[in-house]
Amino acid sequence: MHLNLAYRWFCRLGLDGKVPDHSTFSKNRHGRFRESDILRQLFESIVERCMAEGLVSANGFAVDASLIAADANKQRSVPSSDWDPGEIKDDACRAAREYLATLDDAAFGAASPVTPKFIARSDPAAQWTGAHKGHAFFAYATNYLIDTDHGVIVDVEATRAVRQAEVGASRTMVERTEERFGLKPGYLVADTAYGSADNLAWLVKQKRITPYIPVFDKSTRTDGTFSRSDFTFDPEADCYICPAEKKLVQFRRAYATPRTGVGADGTRRYRASKKDCDVCELKARCCPNAVARKIPRDLEEDSRDVARALAGTPEFETACQRRKKVEMLFAHLKRILRLGRLRLRGPCGAKDEFLLAATAQNLRRLARLRPPEFEMAA
Ligand code: SF4
C-alpha cells in the first residue's frame, strides 16, 4: 500500500495519507465489522440493487446447500467421547467461544442431537462429515436461496453441515426475504433433502408456496411386496383401498372414549381386516409374514400428496431445470472464487465469508447488465 497507487485509491488514502497498521484490517473484520452487521447490510443493499434493475421477479426460488471445508484438521481433533465443552476457558480462541455461544442455535449446536465422530479443538462448531462419499472432513454449509429467473442470490445462511440445519436455514431465508424485501416466491424448488413431511406442510399450509420438491419417502419396498403407493387413500372415507379393493381403516368399532389414532411416532395406522386378508389371493404379495396389512400415514401426509401430485408435471420439470442455477453458483463459488476452504474459523467467520462471497456473485450478475455501448467503448 505504501507503493501502490491503486491500493491507496481503494482505501481512500491521499498520496501523503498515513497508511494504517496492517493489523487494522483484520481487527476491523473480527471486531467492528462483525458487531455492526455491516456485511449483511452490504449483501442486502446489493440484492435491493438487483431488484431495482429488474433481476428479481419472485416467480420462483430455489434453495440448496453446499459444503465448504473448515480451517480445521483431523490431526488436531479429538474423538467426541473425549470432548468436554467445559474445558473451554474464558481466554480460549474466538472460534471456541463462538462454539459455546451457538450451542443452542438451531443452525449450529442444536441442529441435531447426533454427536459427530470428531471435534476440532481449533473450530469446535465445524462438522465432521463424510457427505461427499470420499474422505471425511470438517466443514460448514453455505445455504443459498436464489431467484430462478436470473440466478440472483436473495439470501445466504451459514449452518452446520447436517440436513436438519440446512432445512431450518431454508425456512429462515424464506421468512427473512419476505420480511426484508417483501418477496414471497410462487414456488420453491429443491432436492429430496427438503422433502420431509414437516417441511412440505410448512410450505403448503403455512406459507402457501408451491413445493416443486421430490418427497422424502422410505415407504417403497424392494422385496417384491406391495408398497404404500400401491394403496389408494380416500380422504372422504378416511381409509386406504388395497389392490384387492378392500378397505384399511383406523378403527373397526366405536370406542366409548374417542381415540386420536395417532401413535407415539406421530403416524396414524390403517389396518386391513384379518377376514379379508385370510382369503385374499394377493396375500403372498402383500403381507406374507403378517396376519393383516397395516399402512402408516404421517399426520402431514396430505402435504406430501400435494408434492407428489406436482412431481412429473411440465412445471415441475421446468422448475428442476431452473434449480441447476443454484448448483452453477456453488460451482462458480468453488472453482472461480476459490472458496474451497474457509480462511476464518467459527460460525461468525463462516457467516462473514459466505456473505461476502454471495455479495461478489450478485455483483457479477449486476455487472453483466452493462449497456452494450459501454462494452463497445471499453
Ligand atoms: S392381503 Fe389384505 S390388504 Fe393385502 S391386498 Fe389382500 S385384502 Fe388387501
Q: What are the residue ranges spanned by the domains of the chain?
A: 51-214+311-377, 228-298
pLDDT of residue 23: 84
pLDDT of residue 27: 76
Report the nearest-CA residue for atom 2 of ligand 1: 277
277 touches ligand 1 (CB under 6 Å): yes
293 touches ligand 1 (CB under 6 Å): yes
Instruction: Please check whether residue 159 is in contact with residue 139, taking contact to mean a CB–CB distance below 8 angstroms.
Output: no
> Among 226, 232, 246, 295, which residue has the most ligand 1 atoms within 8 Å of its CB, making it the best to mutate?
246
pLDDT of residue 190: 95
Closest CA to 273 of 292, 299, 290: 292
- Looking at ligand 1, which atom is closest to the CA of residue 286? 4
pLDDT of residue 31: 67
The grid coordinates of residue 47 equal 440484492
167 touches ligand 1 (CB under 6 Å): no
246 touches ligand 1 (CB under 6 Å): yes
Asked if CATH classification 3.20.20.150 holds for the domain at 51-214+311-377, the reply, yes or no, is: no
pLDDT of residue 112: 73
pLDDT of residue 372: 58
* Cα 43 to Cα 63: distance, rounded to the nearest angstrom: 17
282 touches ligand 1 (CB under 6 Å): yes
**Burial of 56 by CB count in 10 Å (0-12 exposed, 13-18 middle, 19+ buried)?**
buried
Give residue 225's identity as a one-letter amino acid code. T
* Cα 70 to Cα 123: distance, rounded to the nearest angstrom: 8
pLDDT of residue 47: 96
Helix-, strand-, coil-residue percentages of the chain, each rounded to 5: 40, 15, 40
What spacing in Å lies between the alpha carbon of 220 and ligand 1's midpoint? Answer: 17
DSSP result, 54-119: T----SEEEEEEEEEE-S--GGGEEEGGG--GGG--TTS-HHHHHHHHTTT-TTTTTS-SPPPSEE
244 touches ligand 1 (CB under 6 Å): yes
126 touches ligand 1 (CB under 6 Å): no
> Among 249, 278, 280, which residue has the most ligand 1 atoms within 8 Å of its CB, making it the best to mutate?
280
**Angle, in degrees to the nearest 10, between helices 38-52 and 163-181:** 60
Intervals of the chain under pLDDT 50: 378
* Cα 234 to Cα 247: distance, rounded to the nearest angstrom: 10
pLDDT of residue 28: 75
**Angle, in degrees to the nearest 10, between helices 346-367 and 314-335:** 110
- Looking at ligand 1, which atom is closest to the CA of residue 272? 3
286 touches ligand 1 (CB under 6 Å): yes
Instruction: Please check whether residue 140 is in contact with residue 127, taking contact to mean a CB–CB distance below 8 angstroms.
Output: yes
239 touches ligand 1 (CB under 6 Å): no
